[in-house]
């Protein structure tokens, strides 16, 4: 008989479940050497437990003879290797994951009976997977793309998956069009070009014919599509869900994830350079932050709408191309998610995790959003082929922390050994076990929504306003953000070879904002069409021909929304920001150490970049370890640059072309640059000017450190970009 406090044996279901919910050690006192792992001390065996004597040589007929078919160890090893890959996800193939916990601030029992949204004392384990949409598993992290933001809550009532994106809306309104959208954005089928990019004919051909995509295109062409870090982007549930309380009352809800580090991006030119320097930039950033103890944090926010208010808005709550402006319904922050443990094995966890919009718990339910309804079918269907059959829920990363009891049996890769004679219900031979549960005891019941309608293939007339929120988004952006959208559209459409598609897309843009359309047309060298040439409503409503587009863009009461611009995000921390310190032999070690200490105390990460690896000597003959050389480092991988003084160091860097390029690139990408006053000669060799915003020159290190920390927290000084001089 097992003692009460005896831990479960390794490999048992109980042990795996326990591991899933255990909190990780933050920082071990004895660090392993880089790229090493703890040895298990166990002998090597085959997959069936036979100890292996020789893993270096196959069984042969003599030293130079043929390999023998009877070598079962070789055959097992090679066969397993041949089948190590599974089909990658059609979308969201490129992903990164992490474990963590969610802690509720205050019970939401007024709105929902979901246990994890009622119990403030419980830490709910989570696994989060971030991803790009269009690219393959081997594509760059820095593609201009939507980012997936999927969270699996391992609740005490079963798993709840909040499968969202870093943008609150989507390209299409009905799941019927999803295969068409993805076929259009994927590499073109005749030549499999381009990878992880929307800048090609088929995508914009589709978009220019689907004006319902107008709002999402504004988001995708904005800086939101190229985040600085996965830790610095918002997450959204996209759809309108339902919350159900114990009294059976229903509330509509939009889910939000608000990053405590703020919402920040990189410049497009910078993103392209990062893709060449480090295509794993976002994956590495997430991993390193967690390993260093700088745990990423988001607050879960809810926008709650009483069911009685369903039709009070200018838009339809069920339309996935629309958001609820926060000025109309504020976001209530109800809890915090902290990611505090990296996966132990990328494939077993990040690659095999299976999310599904249909994984809900009592107190959360669906709405009739037609895109959501299609996702409810698609996700399970996808996992059946990717993960080998209907038992993907038994893979450790997908298992709930509560017991699973039902009459489902067998199938590919079944792990559970079910005992007993009966596998059906009702039964008398097994005392009708397992038995269904009453709603009062936690059994799931769907919301009793009244349905009274005819079967029809059509969309509600309320879905045909395609431009008002696209205009709202553009109007809400700061001037630099608007310029970036113009640049993005000009770049993307400039890659489109079919002129008719460019012209048709300009017609769509003209319905969003005339200045936007004019400036993009100027950049493309095309005359803005006098009359838009695209299907006005995307599809014909059930009551006949499309109406004039002007009747489909109602005058919005809200002209701009502060929440839609990153100019208003959190800018009060430099925690986990990476700062490059450029130095050479003869550097002023005192200034360098003062700045380095101040930056690290504020939570930043510093690296010394020098002409060579190894070490450098300070002016006082002390030795400093070099982290990277100019050959391996690049300014695009850092958030800011500091150049300390020291006569010999300054002279060396002033004549180091890579150092000058490093500073010029940081300046071009609007990052904070700080210099000791006696390093001014280096600045004079660059494009940067001492009077430019975000360029700091000080005599005293203490004064410089305070100003530099404040400047880094601003993220970028976009006003350094050249103003647009394009005729209206």
Which one, of 77, 279, 168, 201, lies nearest residue 497 by Cα?
Answer: 201
Structure tokens at 129: 């997977």
- Beta bridge mates, 669: none
Q: Treating both helix axes as pointing N-terminal to C-terminal, what angle do 201-208 and 499-512 enclose, rounded to 10 degrees?
A: 40
Q: Is 274 exposed, middle or buried (0-12, 13-18, 19+ CB in 10 A)?
A: buried
Residue for token digits 């001037």? 479
Q: Quick check: is 92 catalytic?
A: yes
Three-state SS at 172 = coil
| DSSP string of 20-87, one letter each residue | HHSPPPSS-SSPPPTT------PPPB-TTSPBPS-SS---BSSTTSPBPTT-HHHHHHHHHHHT---P
Number of neighbouring beta carbons within 10 Å of residue 393? 18
> Cα 564 to chain center, whole Å?
17
Task: Tell me which of 92, 215, 239, 256 is the catalytic residue.
Answer: 92
Q: Quick check: is 165 catalytic?
A: yes
Which one, of 571, 723, 669, 566, lies nearest residue 271 by Cα?
Answer: 669
Which one, of 638, 505, 527, lies nearest residue 576 by Cα?
Answer: 638
Number of neighbouring beta carbons within 10 Å of residue 702? 11
Q: In whole angstroms, how far apart are CA 312 and each of 173, 315, 607?
A: 20, 9, 54
| Eight-class DSSP state of 538 | S
CB 314 within 8 A of CB 554: yes
Three-state SS at 117 = helix
- Beta bridge mates, 177: none
Task: Tell me which of 159, 165, 166, 342 is the catalytic residue.
Answer: 165
CB 240 within 8 A of CB 254: yes
Q: How far apart are CA 664 and CA 686, in angstroms?
A: 6
Residue for token digits 């071990």? 28
Give the ranges where 556-588 is alpha helix by DSSP (H): none
Which one, of 374, 373, 94, 321, lies nearest residue 207 by Cα?
Answer: 321
Q: How far apart are CA 157 and CA 250, in angstroms?
A: 19
Q: How far apart are CA 460 and CA 368, in angstroms?
A: 12
Which one, of 337, 339, 336, 381, lies nearest residue 358 by Cα?
Answer: 381
**Mode of pairing for the β-strands spanning 241-244 and 628-629:** unpaired
**Mode of pairing for the β-strands spanning 123-132 and 158-165:** unpaired
> Which residues are marked as active site?
92, 165
């Amino acid at each position: 008989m097992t003692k009460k406090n005896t831990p479960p044996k390794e490999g048992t279901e109980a042990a795996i479940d326990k591991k899933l919910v255990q909190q990780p050690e933050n920082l071990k006192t004895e660090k392993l050497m880089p790229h090493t792992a703890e040895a298990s001390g166990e002998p090597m065996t085959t997959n069936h437990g036979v100890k292996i004597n020789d893993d270096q040589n196959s069984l042969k007929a003599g030293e130079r003879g043929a390999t023998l078919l009877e070598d079962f160890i070789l055959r097992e090893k090679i066969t397993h290797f041949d089948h190590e890959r599974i089909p990658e996800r059609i979308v969201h193939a490129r992903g990164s994951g992490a474990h963590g916990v969610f802690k509720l601030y205050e019970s939401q029992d007024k709105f929902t009976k979901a246990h994890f949204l009622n119990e403030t004392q419980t830490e709910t384990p989570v696994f989060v997977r971030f991803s790009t949409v269009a690219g393959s598993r081997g594509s760059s992290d820095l593609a201009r793309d939507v980012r997936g933001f999927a969270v699996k809550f391992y609740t005490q009532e079963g798993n709840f998956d909040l499968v969202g994106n870093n943008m609150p809306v989507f390209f299409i309104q009905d799941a019927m069009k999803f295969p068409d959208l993805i076929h259009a954005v994927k590499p073109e089928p005749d030549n499999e070009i381009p990878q992880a990019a929307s800048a090609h004919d088929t995508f914009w051909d589709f978009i220019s014919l689907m004006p319902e995509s107008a709002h999402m295109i504004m988001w995708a062409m904005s800086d939101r599509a190229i985040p600085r870090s996965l830790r610095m982007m918002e997450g959204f549930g996209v759809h309108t869900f339902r919350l159900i309380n114990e009294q059976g009352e229903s509330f509509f809800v939009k889910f939000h994830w608000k990053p405590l580090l703020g919402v920040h991006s990189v410049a497009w030119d910078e993103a392209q350079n990062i893709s060449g320097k480090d295509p794993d930039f976002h994956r590495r950033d997430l991993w390193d932050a967690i390993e260093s103890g700088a745990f990423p944090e988001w607050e879960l926010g809810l926008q709650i709408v009483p069911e009685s208010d369903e039709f009070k808005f200018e838009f339809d709550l069920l339309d996935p191309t629309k958001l609820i402006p926060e000025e109309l319904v504020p976001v209530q922050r109800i809890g915090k998610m902290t990611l505090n443990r990296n996966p132990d094995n990328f494939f077993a966890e990040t690659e095999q995790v299976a999310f599904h919009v249909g994984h809900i718990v009592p107190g959360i339910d669906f709405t009739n959003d037609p895109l959501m309804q299609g996702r409810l079918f698609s996700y399970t269907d996808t996992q059946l082929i990717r993960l080998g059959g209907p038992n993907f829920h038994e893979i450790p990363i997908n298992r709930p922390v509560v017991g699973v009891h039902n009459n489902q049996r067998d199938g590919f890769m079944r792990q559970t050994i079910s005992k007993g004679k009966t596998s059906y219900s009702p039964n008398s031979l097994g005392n009708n076990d397992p038995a269904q549960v009453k709603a009062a005891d936690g059994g799931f019941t769907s919301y009793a929504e009244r349905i009274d309608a005819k079967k029809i293939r059509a969309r509600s007339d309320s879905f045909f306003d395609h431009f008002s929120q696209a205009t709202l988004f553009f109007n809400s952006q700061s001037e630099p953000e608007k310029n970036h959208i113009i640049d993005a559209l000009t770049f993307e459409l400039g890659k489109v070879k079919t002129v008719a598609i460019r012209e048709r897309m300009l017609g769509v843009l003209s319905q969003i904002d005339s200045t936007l359309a004019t400036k993009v047309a100027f950049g493309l060298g095309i005359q803005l069409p006098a009359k838009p040439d695209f299907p006005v409503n995307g599809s014909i409503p059930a009551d006949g021909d499309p109406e004039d587009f002007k009747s489909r863009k109602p005058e919005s009461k809200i002209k701009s929304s502060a929440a839609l611009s990153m100019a208003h995000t959190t800018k009060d921390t430099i925690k986990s920001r990476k700062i490059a310190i450029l130095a050479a032999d003869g550097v002023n070690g005192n200034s360098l150490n003062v700045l380095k200490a101040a930056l690290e105390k504020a939570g930043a990460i510093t690296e010394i970049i020098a002409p060579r690896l190894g070490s450098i000597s300070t002016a006082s003959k002390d030795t400093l370890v070099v982290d990277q050389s100019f050959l391996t480092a690049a300014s695009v991988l850092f958030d800011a640059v500091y150049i300390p003084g020291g006569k010999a160091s300054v002279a060396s860097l002033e004549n180091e072309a890579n150092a000058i390029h490093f500073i010029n690139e940081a300046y071009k990408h609007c990052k904070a640059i700080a210099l000791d006053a006696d390093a001014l000669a280096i600045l004079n060799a660059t494009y940067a000017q001492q009077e430019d915003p975000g360029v700091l020159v000080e005599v005293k290190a203490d004064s410089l450190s305070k100003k530099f920390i404040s400047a880094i927290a601003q993220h970028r000084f976009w006003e350094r970009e050249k103003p647009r001089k394009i005729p209206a």
